[in-house]
Structure 1
C-alpha cells in the first residue's frame, strides 16, 4: 500500500500536520498511532481533533482509555491503549460500538488491542529523528490512500 514520510521539526509542526489531515477526514475512519513514549502521538491527535471542530482541551486518554468528542457531524473517539493490561478489557467496554458509520477513531498503542480493533485505514508511526520527529503514514484502505494523496 501507499506510504509517505513527513519531517516534523517541533511540536507546532506536529499540530499543523494534524490540522491539515483533519481537512480531508470523513467518517468512518480508523487511524492507528504508534511510536515511543513522548514521540508526539497525543500532540498530533490534539491538532487533528481541534481542527475537526472540538473547542477546548484535548486530554490524553491514558487513564480513561477513551476520550469521546461529540462534534456537529461526527463522533471522534481518541483511544490510548498504553495502560491496557489485557485486550479483553476492550470487550468489556464495548469496543466494537465505537467503530460506527459516523465515527473517526484515533488509536494510540494499537498493538495492545490486537485482535479486537477495527482495521486501520491508515497507520501512522512517529519516531524521534535528531532533534525533531519523523511521521510515516501508510495507507491500508482506499480511503487511507486518498488521504495521503490529498496531503502530500
Structure 2
C-alpha cells in the first residue's frame, strides 16, 4: 500500500521510522525517478542511524559509495547511477560486510544488488508533482 509523504518533514519522519526497523545486514534499495526523493530519504535514514540530525550526508553520486560509522554499526550509502558496467559493483564492496546496513540508489543497474535486497522502497512523484508516494516491501 502506498503512503503519501506531503513534505520534507514527512520524508524525515519516514527515514526515522525505517532506520528504527533496520538490522545489521539489511540491504535497502531506493527506487524512483530523478527527483523522487531517494537521496533525501537515505539522508534521513543515515542521520537517524547516526543519531545526528545535523550530520552532513552528501549524495554519493560521484564517489559511488559513502561509508558511515554509526551507533547502529557501519552504514554504506551507494548511488549506482554512474556505474559503467554491472560487474563494477563487486569493486564497491557493498556485500562484503554482513554487519553493514546498505542503502542503494539506482540498484537496478546491478541485478545482484536487487537480488540481495531485504527492503525495497519505491518513491513515485504523484500526478501534479506534490509530495511523494512511497511503497515499502520487505523480504
**TM more than 0.5:** yes
Given the superposition, is the C-alpha separation of residues 87 and 21 from structure 1 closer, same or farther in structure 2, using an over 3 Å criterion? same
TM-score relative to the length of structure 2: 0.88
| 1:118 CA displacement | 5.7
| 1:122 CA displacement | 1.2
Would you say how many aligned residue pairs link Structure 1 and Structure 2? 135
What CA deviation, in whole Å up to 9, does each residue of 1:7-64 have, x standing for no partner? 1011221111001111222212111110000110010011111011253211110001
What CA deviation, in whole Å up to 9, does each residue of 1:51-99 have, x standing for no partner? 112532111100011000011341000010011110111223344314x
For residues 4-83 of structure 1, the aligned pairs below 5 Å read 4-53=1-50, 55=52, 56-83=55-82
TM-score relative to the length of structure 1: 0.81
The question of whether the paired residues in 2 share the 8 Å contact of 1:40 and 1:126 is answered with yes
Q: Provide the aligned C-alpha RMSD in A.
A: 1.6
For residues 89-128 of structure 1, the aligned pairs below 5 Å read 89-98=88-97, 100=98, 102-115=99-112, 119-128=116-125
Structure 2: gaps (5+ residues) = none
What CA deviation, in whole Å up to 9, does each residue of 1:91-131 have, x standing for no partner? 23344314x1x210001111111135661111111000131
The yes-or-no answer on 1:137 pairing with 2:139 is no
The question of whether the paired residues in 1 share the 8 Å contact of 2:49 and 2:72 is answered with no
